[in-house]
Amino acid sequence: MHLFGRADVWSATLAAPERNRPPNFRPGWCGAAGGWKHRGVAEFAAVVLAGGRARRLGGVDKVLLPVGGRTLLDRTLDAVAAADPLVVVGPPRTTARPVRWTAEDPPDGGPLAGLKAGLALLPAETRAVAVLAGDHPHLTPDTITRLLAALRATPEAAGAVLTDSDDRPQWLVGVWRSAALREAMPAEVRNRPLRAVLAPLAPLHVPAIESEASDVDTPEDLREARAANG
Is 200 buried (19+), middle (13-18) or exposed (0-12) by CB count in 10 A? exposed
Q: Specify the 3-state DSSP secondary structure of 227.
A: helix
- HSE-CB at 150 with a 13 A cutoff on CA atoms is 23
- One-character DSSP codes across 9-28: -------S-GGGS-TT-BTT
Strand-pair partners of 163: 169, 207
135 marked among binding-site residues: yes
222 marked among binding-site residues: no
Q: How far apart are CA 222 and CA 207, in angstroms?
A: 23
Strand-pair partners of 205: 161
- One-character DSSP codes across 133-199: ES--SS--HHHHHHHHHHHHH-TT-SEEEEE-TT--EEEEEEEEEHHHHHHH--S--TT--HHHHHG
116 marked among binding-site residues: no
Is 83 buried (19+), middle (13-18) or exposed (0-12) by CB count in 10 A? buried
| Bond preceding residue 141 cis, omega within 30 of 0 | no
| Binding-site residue set for Mg(2+) | 135
| Binding-site residue set | 49-51, 62, 135
| Binding-site residue set for GTP | 49-51, 62, 135
